[in-house]
Amino acid sequence: MLEPSPDDVSTLLIRWSDGDRAALDQLMPLVYSELHLLAAAYLRRERPGHSLQSTGIVHEAFLKLVDQRHVRWQDRAHF
């Protein structure tokens, strides 16, 4: 599977910021695996026996991201 280019992600972020909900539907599969990897890396540094799971963290982050009403995403790095 090809990695999406930063330009692809940036374009979708801008479209989403402009109110295009379909852009969000296209964006999430592109960034989900990356968010999951970041969460897993973070959790490897947590104390043994913690109850957090990377999937739960990603889903919580997703809910917070889609609830953003006044963010004008500029590019992938800003996101």
* pLDDT 10s digits, 40-54: 998 888 888 777 888
Please say whether the beta carbons of 30 and 4 come within 8 A: yes
Q: What phi and psi values does residue 7 have, to the nearest 5 degrees?
A: -65, -40
**pLDDT computed for residue 22 by the predictor:** 92
Q: Which residues touch 57 (CB under 8 Å, ≥6 apart)? A: 39, 42, 43
Choose among 23, 35, 26: nearest CA to 59. 35
Q: Which residues touch 6 (CB under 8 Å, ≥6 apart)? A: 75, 76, 77
Q: What percent of the chain has pLDDT over 90?
A: 6
This prediction has a pTM of 0.65
